[in-house]
Structure 1
């Protein structure tokens, strides 16, 4: 079966603050789509402000999936996303509609399209040991431990990137082999869909940075700190959990613990969001090289929604 003969699925990816939500809703007005969120933060219930979760009114415009599906106390993996997304894509196609996958978690897009590496599951004992080292010595020291075991993996990670350092060190310790070797053991079953990809990227990184700063300020004004306080009161959370490592949440947590003042919260939150956007754009550059059918659009153009719709129609008709 050729790629073109497979049922279509639209992919709309881009960095934070690039206009994905508005573009997806514009597509929903013109095409029979159902939206599948590709966002590792939107899966969590009660995390609305800091995740820029679509409002109830926006979600009422067309069906949305993979939003509010797990507790902030739970983990949600790329493997779970791939299984859920493929199931939903099949169901949506069966209803005579088009799956529209929208988000900025590039690992999820890659897992969907390229398959998954055969990686070990979480090892609670090793994670506790790593977290204990981090608490006593700091994450740069944990990064140094990873460098001694796997210099190549450590070189690709920022010494302060706690989540990725923990997972990389965990995999290396569990498997006894370099991270690159583990990732090379990949499940290569292609999805049974014609994946039609549109990527949003800024022509001026400075404009995107200003958007990020403005949006983070709006999140603070909308009650991000109170949201994190409610989460801490309602759930048994700690800063090692993926939900509380999300950008904005870990900075608000530090503020509530008295570690930072409001200006520092604002500075760190904006800086972390800009770093997130930088990582997302790095992924997209790789996708642009590896995915020949991908259409890239300037997310700063004033007619972005119309441009996205035109690109989607072009892909569907090709």
Structure 2
């Protein structure tokens, strides 16, 4: 059974091109690990592979969900595992590519043994000012507080939630999980694309311009019933604001570029922690 090859990197770094190259070399088939490329009707916004690229080698898990369908890392895992197993059963190499770090983490290491969200507690935390949440986390788990982006409300809230639901420190649970995943990492093989910041930003700007000129505006206009997942795709809110007359075309493009650059920076930080990935400098 041939193990998967994972190809990761920030948005617009060239993952799809490298995946095609490796699939041709290894006789592989490409499996999507991008949260938004799972959806039909978001092909341009999500920069999904073109029809020409899809025809070159078999691709899996692209455009398989209706825009109204909710999805998360757990549901992705349930979709991806049988697809990968089928590719391996045919003595082919699964080439798993995408930039959704949590989706990839679930696939490579499994879900962390952390408590699931509690709706009532989450509502309580959502109603709490961020300053009080930070103080609460610092009291419950100083170690976790020290390594959490304290301006990110979602991160702080989740850390507090883990502490309260588990009765343990979030840092202890995460550290224990990291120790376990280190053993799994030794048996994984993967590549992560690195580009200079100016190069990546130029590629992002070029892709945004091509996207807007290539039909993305009409694509968003056609979205009438979509899940909160789809709404989070970069470009959806910005284009909807433009269609509503709230902003102009230039501002829309600038906002998409800025949001994409910020997302790419977060992706780079995520993959930097995945030490099992071998860097590929482009």
In structure 1, the partner of 2:208 is 216
1:61 to 1:115, Cα distance in 2 relative to 1, 3 A: same
1:287-298 alignment, distance < 5 Å: 287=274, 290-291=275-276, 294-298=277-281
In structure 2, the partner of 1:305 is none
What secondary structure, in the 3-state scheme, does the structure 1 residue paired with 2:188 have?
Answer: strand
Q: In 1, Cα distance between the equivalents of 2:251 and 2:163?
A: 35
1:148 to 1:75, Cα distance in 2 relative to 1, 3 A: farther
Asked if the contact 1:150–1:179 (Cα under 8 Å) also holds between the matched residues in 2, the reply is no
The TM-score normalised by the length of structure 1 is 0.73
Are positions 1:250 and 2:237 aligned together?
yes
Which of 34, 41, 48 aligns to 1:39? It is 34
The TM-score normalised by the length of structure 2 is 0.81
1:18-57 alignment, distance < 5 Å: 18-57=13-52
Q: In 2, Cα distance between the equivalents of 1:193 and 1:91?
A: 24
Q: In 2, Cα distance between the equivalents of 1:227 and 1:158?
A: 36
Q: In 2, Cα distance between the equivalents of 1:162 and 1:64?
A: 37
1:110-129 alignment, distance < 5 Å: 110-124=105-119
Q: In 1, Cα distance between the equivalents of 2:242 and 2:153?
A: 18
Asked if the contact 1:15–1:277 (Cα under 8 Å) also holds between the matched residues in 2, the reply is yes
1:192 to 1:178, Cα distance in 2 relative to 1, 3 A: closer
Q: In 2, Cα distance between the equivalents of 1:214 and 1:222?
A: 12
Q: In 1, Cα distance between the equivalents of 2:166 and 2:243?
A: 38
Q: In 1, Cα distance between the equivalents of 2:170 and 2:36?
A: 25
Asked if the contact 1:12–1:103 (Cα under 8 Å) also holds between the matched residues in 2, the reply is yes
Query: Per-residue CA shift, 1:165-215, capped at 9, x if unaligned?
Result: 77667656655766445545749587799532111101x211111111111
1:165 to 1:93, Cα distance in 2 relative to 1, 3 A: same
Query: Per-residue CA shift, 1:273-297, capped at 9, x if unaligned?
Result: 111111111122222xx32xx4311
What secondary structure, in the 3-state scheme, does the structure 2 residue paired with 1:8 have?
Answer: coil
Q: In 2, Cα distance between the equivalents of 1:69 and 1:115?
A: 22
1:24 to 1:47, Cα distance in 2 relative to 1, 3 A: same
Query: Per-residue CA shift, 1:212-240, capped at 9, x if unaligned?
Result: 11111111112323222211x244x5xxx
- Identify which range, 117-126 or 259-268, moves more after superposition: 117-126
Q: In 2, Cα distance between the equivalents of 1:166 and 1:66?
A: 32
**What count of residue pairs does the alignment treat as equivalent?**
275
1:198 to 1:130, Cα distance in 2 relative to 1, 3 A: same
In structure 2, the partner of 1:14 is 9
Q: In 2, Cα distance between the equivalents of 1:174 and 1:32?
A: 46
1:68-217 alignment, distance < 5 Å: 68-124=63-119, 143-151=130-138, 152=144, 156-157=148-149, 159=151, 179-181=170-172, 183-184=174-175, 186=177, 194-202=187-195, 204-217=196-209
In structure 2, stretches of 5+ residues that fail to align are 139-143
Q: In 1, Cα distance between the equivalents of 2:82 and 2:175?
A: 25
Asked if the contact 1:198–1:295 (Cα under 8 Å) also holds between the matched residues in 2, the reply is yes
What secondary structure, in the 3-state scheme, does the structure 2 residue paired with 1:198 have?
Answer: strand
In structure 1, stretches of 5+ residues that fail to align are 1-5, 134-140, 300-318
